[in-house]
Chain A
């Protein structure tokens, strides 16, 4: 299911495995640096653990693992993006997130039919900004639980 996109919305752009993704800033509660994450035993593989964020216990999802990329060590640039969807607050760990910009609807097109498999579900659209290709994420799909993610399927990465 794709989310509706308005004429020009503000997005947070982040990097993951050399690909640029975007999330609507309205979905983002706030962002933090990645500090200690407490692992939760028997949680799904891509759930790195939990963190305390503003007094609340928030699950931290390793987006790399979620999308089937190999792990990378956390750096000063790594970020935990806390998204809020309905009642749920979930943290997404990404390689870097430094941009905030508007993306106008006319630069966005729907994802190709050729993108099959799990990766297709996560995309809400693809935007061309200058010479960059930015993948717009469908957050509710990304943080969905109950469906085991196979990390064998690599995610879409456009160059």
Chain B
């Protein structure tokens, strides 16, 4: 069953065309409205762009100022930085000097300690020596005394002998007396023998004593040599101390110079810092100003962006309307074709319809062309607007960045100010510390000098002592020699004494013999006399020896006394030195402590300076950043101006584009109106030309068709 659609389709198409025409008119009117809005918007934009322009110019100017400020700030900051660097260098040097000083002082201290130790040992030795020498002296005195005793005995002996001798002589005469004398002699000889024995014993004792005296002298000698060496050592140490003290003194002087320079530098730093502070404050004020300026520019930009977004929105609206119109044009074309097809099917009856359909097609195609043109324009406008929005957004972004940077710069400046204040504090600290150092340094120098003087004194004293010690040594050697001689003499004496004893014994024997002899007679008076002569000689030599010994002993005694005095004085001197050395040690100790303190203080200063340095460097960096930012600002500001010029150009193009749109839209509107008229014609044509559909009842049943909704899918 063929579906009959002729009359129905005609109606449908007609109605659809009318609808379509109305739609197109509506859309075209909307486009007209929008184009008008756009034109107005463009004007507004132009104005805001002008505003933006002037703001941007202001901004550029203030940015230039800021840049200049930043430059000068930069210069000051550089100065500050270099000052602080110098300070740092000096302090480093100072630190080095202090360290050297401390080291030298330490050395000195240890030398002094050594010296003190040596001195103490010398003192101890000297005291020992003194004690020994006292003992020696005592021993020698005893010896001397015993010798003297022996001497006296010897003299007695000699006397006795002499008497004996006399007695013997007298024998002849009186053997009896002889016998008595011999008894006397024997008794005397007995006595002399016992005296001889006593003398021998005491000579033995003396020999022993001489031995012990010799060993004690050896000891003393050794001690004294030791002492001498010690004293030499002390002398050497003193030399070293002197050298060290000189070095320390030189260092201290240098340090003094350094400290002074630090003080000067600190003063300069302080001034620089104050200058930096002032500059930073000024810079801050300018930045604030430029921030305000940027804010204004930003507002203009934002407004511009707002306008352009609106324009873009409008353009997009128009674009979508254009799309809709395109769609409608396509559908109209389709409709008209379908209508033509139906008309052709209706043959003659559809001819008028076909003509109208053709015209509608043409109109639709023209509309399509017009909307296509509009679409082009719109697309161009959109493109331009998008570029403008991008440019404006860039500008906004730059402004925001600038603001942020300015904010950073401002906070940077604040930090600088803070840093500068800190620096100033550090500088103050440094100044105070250096003042203290100055003091400490001076006292160190004094202490060093004192020590040096003391050390020199000690050196002199010890030199003398050395001399004294040498004298002692010589004396002791003399004593030694003498003692040896005494010992020898004693030895001889001993031998002699032994001879004497023997003689004595001989004598005694002789005496016995004499007695015997006497008894036997005085035959051997000659022998006895010889023996007596011998005894007399021996007794005389003994007496001489003993006298010599006594003299030697005296000498020794004197010598010992002298040594004793010398040693005591050395001991005293040593003791004094010991005290002095301890004082020096204490001074050196305190000096060391102070030096260490100073070293620490210097280290701290160095740190303080390092901090200051860092702060200054930061400041410099900040300032550099700000400088750079400002330069960028300037560039950006330049960019603003360029963008704004662009935007201005865009706005002008927009304006002309909008005008064009309005023109085209008018054309489109006319087309749409014509379309409507066509559709009307068509509907009339349709009603007149369709074949008779009357049923026999005369009932006319119209067919209601669904109207297609706008933009919805069409399923006709």
On A, residues with C-beta under 8 Å from B are 10, 12, 25-26, 28-33, 35, 52-54, 76-77, 79, 97-98, 100
Contact = CB atoms under 8 A, between A and B. Distances in A.
Nearest to B336: A100
Given A25-B344, A26-B344, A31 B338 contact: yes
Contacts of B326: 76
B337 A97 contact: yes
Interface in B322-340: 326-327, 330-331, 333-334, 336-338, 340
A12 B345 CA distance: 13
Contact of A30 (B331, B333, B338, B358): B338
A32 B713 CA distance: 11
Residues of B in contact with A, size category: 20 to 34
A77 B365 CA distance: 13
Nearest to A35: B713
Given A31-B341, A77-B330, 11 more contacts: A10-B341, A12-B337, A25-B345, A30-B9, A31-B334, A35-B713, A79-B334, A98-B361, A98-B365, A100-B336, A100-B361
Given A52-B715, A76-B326, A33 B331 contact: yes
Nearest to A10: B344
B341 A30 contact: yes
Residue from B357, B713, B716 whose CB has the most chain A CB atoms within 10 Å = B716
B126 to A, nearest CB: 124
Contacts of B9: 30
A28 B341 contact: yes
A100 B716 contact: no
Interface of B: 3, 9, 326-327, 330-331, 333-334, 336-338, 340-341, 344-345, 357-358, 361, 365, 713-716
B334 A33 contact: yes
Contact of B330 (A25, A33, A54): A33
B341 A12 contact: yes
A32 B714 contact: yes
Contacts of A100: 336-337, 340-341, 357-358, 361
28 contacts: A10-B340, A10-B341, A10-B344, A25-B344, A25-B345, A26-B345, A28-B341, A29-B341, A30-B9, A31-B334, A32-B714, A32-B716, A33-B330, A33-B334, A35-B713, A54-B715, A76-B326, A76-B330, A79-B334, A98-B333, A98-B337, A98-B361, A98-B365, A100-B336, A100-B340, A100-B341, A100-B357, A100-B361
A54 B705 CA distance: 12
Chain A, interface SS category: strand
A84 to B, nearest CB: 9
| A-B pairs, 3 with minimum CB distance | A100-B340, A10-B344, A25-B344
Contacts of A29: 341
B554 to A, nearest CB: 149
Given A26-B345, A52-B715, A31 B337 contact: yes
Contacts of B327: 76
A76 B330 CA distance: 8
Contacts of B345: 25-26
B268 to A, nearest CB: 80
Nearest to A55: B715
B319 to A, nearest CB: 15
A33 B344 CA distance: 21
Contacts of A98: 333, 337, 361, 365
Given A33-B331, A79-B334, A100-B361, A25 B714 contact: no
Nearest to A53: B715
B133 to A, nearest CB: 133
Residue from A30, A35, A52, A77 whose CB has the most chain B CB atoms within 10 Å = A30
A31 B330 CA distance: 12
Nearest to B342: A30
A6 to B, nearest CB: 12
Contacts of A10: 340-341, 344
A98 B358 CA distance: 11
A30 B10 CA distance: 12
A93 B345 CA distance: 22
A54 B716 contact: yes
Nearest to B13: A30
A68 to B, nearest CB: 27
Nearest to A98: B333
A30 B361 CA distance: 16
A53 B326 CA distance: 23
A38 B402 CA distance: 59
A25 B346 CA distance: 11
A14 B341 CA distance: 14
Contacts of A54: 3, 715-716
Contacts of A52: 715
A47 to B, nearest CB: 20
Contacts of B336: 100
A88 to B, nearest CB: 13
